[in-house]
Homo-oligomer: A and B are copies of this chain.
């Protein structure tokens, strides 16, 4: 947040607000939800802080006060989304092995009930490959994390019988299927059944890995 000459803005936001702490947290959350909605419908570059502010009945400078600028707001939106995410990172209570794969299919099913979140994820992840996009590092790390989680699950399911590179390739394919199905589904929800197609891909990849193990065993 840029510093200004008024004493008011040198005081941390939390100390300044007279209402209970919950008020600020709720206000911030309302801005994050509005920002996700506007980023999803316009994309990051076309989204305006004015429109986000209007969504929550706030001024542009009110949003700036809470989040600094549009780039910082995007980073906050992505971090916020993770808390809400069915595929949680670094969740040591995450299901393991085959149960993790089932969890992904359940996620695809739940995703069909939350098109706004899915649209935001789809638009921002693809937009992040454009030059200098502020979410590029976020999504690069997100995919590293997802691949690791899936590789672990596949290692358990295949009983540590296959090379890490093979498990990585399988993990990339499964994550890709989830993401690619979202684009098709957002364009034409009636044409695509995300959980059914994802289950087909996951079952298929497991069959392929199983065949590779048998080939390796018979050599």
Contacts and interface: CB of A to CB of B under 8 A. Distances in A.
Interface residues of A, number: 54
Q: What's the number of copies of this chain in the assembled complex?
A: 2
Interface of A: 40-43, 45-46, 119, 122-123, 125-131, 136, 139-140, 143-144, 147, 168-170, 172-173, 175-181, 183-184, 186-188, 191-193, 196-198, 200-201, 203-208, 211
Contact of A184 (B143, B186, B206): B143
Give the residue among A43, A140, A175 with the most B Cβ atoms within 10 A. A43
A206 B127 CA distance: 32
Given A43-B130, A123-B130, A173-B181, 18 more contacts: A42-B45, A42-B131, A43-B43, A122-B126, A123-B126, A126-B127, A129-B186, A143-B184, A172-B191, A172-B192, A173-B177, A173-B197, A173-B198, A173-B204, A179-B179, A201-B201, A203-B208, A204-B206
Instruction: Classify the interface of chain A: helix, strand, loop or mixed.
Output: helix
